[in-house]
Amino acid sequence: MKKIVVLGVAGSLLMGSFALAQTGTTPPPPTTTPPPPRLPKDLNKERMEALKDFNQKKQEENKDKQQDIKKDLKDTRTGIRKDRVDLHMDINAKRREFRASTSTPESRMKLQQGIMMERKEFQEGRHEDWQEHRDLAKDRRDVAKEKIGKERLVLKEKLKVVKDERKKLTVERVDKRLEEVHDRALDHFNKVLEHLDEILGKVDTRADKAAANGKDTVQVEAAVTTARGLIDTAKKLVADAAGKTYPITVTTEANLGSAVSAARKALHDDLKKLRDAVQNAREAVKTAVEALKAIPGINDEPPPVSPPPPVTTPPPPVSPPPPAQ
């Protein structure tokens, strides 16, 4: 029975296939979405060039804006520094006026208070200058760090011509070492200069007290002005050095040693210039301190300036009592 059923089913399938072959019908093809039309090569190239020109113009515009902002900041800082120099000169002029003053105690007290207020304003301005210097040096160092990263990738690619693996590792280690030495030197020089500026501020304050005591502080004023100029010069050199890098330029395995030596020498020469500038500032501050110590009686307290007595109205005259009746 099972055999009969199987044979019947097989026969039905064969008959269906034969009938389909006789009619010549085929199943419909699957529907497919046509691909998007491709742009001609010339048109695609024009689009890429237009996009490239657009990006380049944007970069140039942003660069011009950044340069204008930097110029405005530089002009503003220059104006602020000039105002502070004028303020310091005004303090020195008031010192001389105070020493030569033979006016009343009230006017001398008023002049001394004016000197103290201007001195406080000047010192606050110096603190702002140092904060601006730290920010500027940090910004330049951040840009230099990005440049160092790119130069390090180039160095790694160039070192492929070197077959000795130990030499490759040595060069990469020296490259990192140069960066570390540079960072530590910049940090050290900034701390030294800021400390010297604090010492100079204390010298100024002591000179104000000496001038209030009638002492001659002309030598101290000249020494402080010189020292402050040298500190500012060294600060600018340190800020400029923050943006420098010292890449090792490798061309062949034969010149590997000379390339490393050249990078080391460039860093050494720049650090020597910074060290000399900081040393000059240190010597100038030392000269200002010695000039202050040379003033006779520098530790004497100034004579107290008493305020003027209050103006009082005299009491009305007392009339005599009436005669007794």
Q: Tokens 């000795």 — which residue?
A: 164
**119 within 8 A of 205, measured Cβ to Cβ:** yes
Residue-level pLDDT at 185: 95
Q: How far, in Å, CA of 127 to CA of 84, rounded?
A: 12
**119 within 8 A of 95, measured Cβ to Cβ:** no
Q: How far, in Å, CA of 151 to CA of 174, rounded?
A: 14
> Among 27-31, 101-105, 154-158, 253-257, which is the least confidently predicted range?
101-105
pLDDT band at 275 (very low <50, low <70, confident <90, very high): very high
Cα 249 to Cα 151, 254, 261, distances in angstroms: 9, 12, 10
- Tell me the three state secondary structure of residue 248: coil
- Tell me the three state secondary structure of residue 193: helix
Q: For 161-175, how does the pLDDT look when each residue is reduced to its tens digit (9 = 90+)?
A: 888 889 889 999 999
The token pair at 151 is 């130069």
Contacts 24+ apart (CB under 8 A), 81-88: 81/129, 84/122, 84/125, 84/126, 84/129, 87/118, 87/121, 87/122, 87/125, 88/122, 88/225, 88/228
Residue-level pLDDT at 174: 93
Q: For 208-252, how does the pLDDT look when each residue is reduced to its tens digit (9 = 90+)?
A: 788 777 788 889 889 999 999 999 999 999 999 999 999 998 888
Q: Tokens 């650090």 — which residue?
A: 271
Mean pLDDT for 6-32 is: 52
In this predicted model, which residue has the larger pLDDT, 41 or 325?
Answer: 41
Q: How far separated are the first and last CA of the chain, in Å rounded? A: 173
Judge whether residue 253 has pLDDT over 60: yes
pTM, rounded to two decimals: 0.61
Q: pLDDT over 90 for what percent of the chain?
A: 32
Mean pLDDT for 263-288 is: 95
pLDDT band at 264 (very low <50, low <70, confident <90, very high): very high
